[in-house]
Amino acid sequence: MTDTTTDLDALAKQLDRQHVFHSWSAQATLDPVVLAGGLGTTVWDHAGRRYLDFSSQLVNVNIGHQHPAVVRAIQEQAATLSTIGPATANLTRGEAARRILDKAPERFAKVFFTNGGADANENAIRLARLHTGRDTVLSTYRSYHGNTGAAIVSTGDWRRIPNQYARGHVHFFGPYLYRTEFWATTPEEESARALHHLERVIQAEGPSTIAAILLETVPGTAGVLIPPPGYLAGVRALADRYGILLILDEVMAGFGRTGRWFAFDGYDVVPDLITFAKGVNSGYVPVGGVIISEDIAAQFDEQVFPGGLTYSGHPLAAASIVGALDAMDDEGIIDHARRIGAEEIGPQLETLAEKHAVIGEVRGEGVFWALELVTDRATREPLPGAAMASLKRSLLTKGLLPFVSENRIHVVPPCVVTADEVAQATAIYDEAFTELAEGTR
């Protein structure tokens, strides 16, 4: 560590505190980690302090930091054509759309590109309302769909409450057996009772008023809530019964996070609209989109679609998608994510749970896991905020960049994480949990 590099970290923090306004934060108390570089599953500051990135930033760096194929694709596109308007045709944009559709079910025909996941959900809602002529959108309380007008009101967690300016949104409870709303004792009971609850909400709201059911295939920020058997297929059946569209939000769960191209590929369900962002290019350039089924797309062959974005299908973003998806195919990254989850992450987290009573439940798949932390396994009382903050500081001090949400640690490394890195992270979690227990005796 040199004075120069230390000065750069100090300068970065100083400029941030003086000039940058951070999301979802009270500004005065912030103390952000400085990041200057990264490679694969590791990031570092200017002084060279290294962190295992088991947050994937915001659960989006699926291919890892600075993957050469993605960096090269962006550089080559920037040298050729850096930006164009959305009304033009461009080969790179077309190739990006084709590659995305190649991963989607056969019934999908078009891709509408957006700047990120929030406006992907915003435009999926717009498409559903235009296609059905209905207004209401149903979504779960335990969800996050973004911070634009309709997307934030579709969101179920606390963040929607100061932002409720959009119309026509109704929330319901989805399945979550560990903290069941339905007095269920098995996954099958939870699924059946959650579906009954949803059908009663549909009936009470009036099916003829409902345009869409919007669900995260696997709710991410809400806790990596793996759908119980039959639930998503049951939602599809209810949507069909009442003439409602099904939108699956794959912004966080898609493109490798669950060890599949799309999370819904593992749950016997095909939606009408798919939203994506994050994992499609690992966030190297801001991008998102809606994958549109044939019948919905056909409606706008003659009818004008009343929506658009200046940077829709931006060529640098499109190039990053082509580079990322080709590399993920060529290097078998999706299969690797599935195997590393099943063979390394899951078993090692279960071993941690056997050792540390603070871990109430382990759940997940692929590189998409959560540890639910409790003060008492019998009562399942959530670990309080002060203890979570202490745990987060401890993990950072030990060289691991965590994803902490409420009383949970989300274990969400890039899809390219190695077995050795999983073992290293597990040792850090183990040490931090041990210190937490010793500090509360």
> What does the H/E/C string look like for 399-429?
CEECEEECCEEEECCCCCCCHHHHHHHHHHH
Quickly state the pLDDT bin for 163 (edges 50, 70, 90).
Answer: confident
pLDDT for the residue 161: 87
pLDDT band with cut points at 50, 70 and 90 for residue 3: low
List b or e across 241-280, with b for residues whose CB sees 16 or more CB atoms inside 10 angstroms. Answer: eeebbbbbbbbbbbbbbbbbbbbbbbbebbbbbbbbbbbb
Structure tokens at 260: 């599949």
Q: What is the DSSP secondary structure assignment for residue 406, as one 8-state letter?
A: T
Report CA 170 to chain centroid distance, whole Å. 22
CA-based nearest residue to 172, from 207, 146, 148, 196: 196
Question: Which pLDDT score is estimated for 441?
Answer: 44
Across the range 295-300, mean pLDDT stands at: 97
Q: What is the CA radius of gyration of the chain?
A: 22
In this predicted model, what pLDDT tens digit does every residue of 59-112 receive, in sequence order? 999 999 999 999 999 999 999 999 999 999 999 999 999 999 999 999 999 999
Place of tokens 């009470």: 204
How many CA atoms are closer than 13 Å to the CA of 296, on its beta-carbon side?
Answer: 32
> What average pLDDT does the segment 369-376 reach?
98
**Residues 350-368: what's their mean pLDDT?**
98
Q: Looking at the predicted structure, is the pLDDT value of residue 1 above 70? A: no
Task: Confirm if 407 and 388 have CB atoms less than 8 A apart.
Answer: yes
Nearest in space to 233 (alpha carbons), one of 146, 296, 175, 155: 175
Q: Domains in the chain, start-ordered, CATH in brackets?
A: 33-66+332-439 (3.90.1150.10), 68-330 (3.40.640.10)
Q: How far apart are CA 39 and CA 44, in angstroms?
A: 9
Higher pLDDT, 68 or 153: 68
Q: What is the mean pLDDT of residues 285-311?
A: 97
CA nearest neighbour of 432 among 347, 355, 360: 355
Q: In this predicted model, which residue has the larger pLDDT, 271 or 26? A: 271
Q: Which tokens is 329 given?
A: 């195919």
CB of 424 within 8 A of CB of 418? no
Q: Read off the pLDDT of residues 107-139 as tens digits, 9 standing for 90 and up.
A: 999 999 999 999 999 999 999 999 999 999 999
Question: Where do we find the tokens 């669950």?
Answer: 258
**How far is 384 from 291, CA to CA, in rounded Å?**
40
pLDDT at position 6, please?
73
Report pLDDT digits (tens) over 248-269.
Answer: 999 999 999 999 999 999 999 9
The dihedral built from the CA positions of residue 55, 60, 65 and 67, taken in this order, carries a sign that is positive
Q: What is the pLDDT of residue 408?
A: 98
Percent of the chain with pLDDT over 90: 92
What would the two tokens of residue 60 be?
Answer: 């989006």
- Give yes or no for a contact between 397 and 417, defined as CB atoms under 8 angstroms apart: no
pLDDT tens for 187-212 read: 999 999 999 999 999 999 999 999 99
User: What is the residue-wise DSSP string for 218-287?
Assistant: S-TTTT--PPPTTHHHHHHHHHHHHT-EEEEE-TTTTTTTTSSSSGGGGTT---SEEEE-GGGTTTSS--
- What's at 316, amino acid-wise? L
Question: Burial level of 420, CB count in 10 A (0-12/13-18/19+)?
Answer: exposed
Measured between its terminal Cα atoms, the distance across the chain in Å is 37
**pLDDT, the chain, mean:** 96
- CB–CB of 246/213 below 8 Å? yes
Band (2; pLDDT cuts 50, 70, 90): low
Euclidean distance between CA atoms 401 and 428, whole angstroms: 11
Distance CA 175, CA 219 (A): 10
Q: Is the pLDDT of residue 440 over 60?
A: no
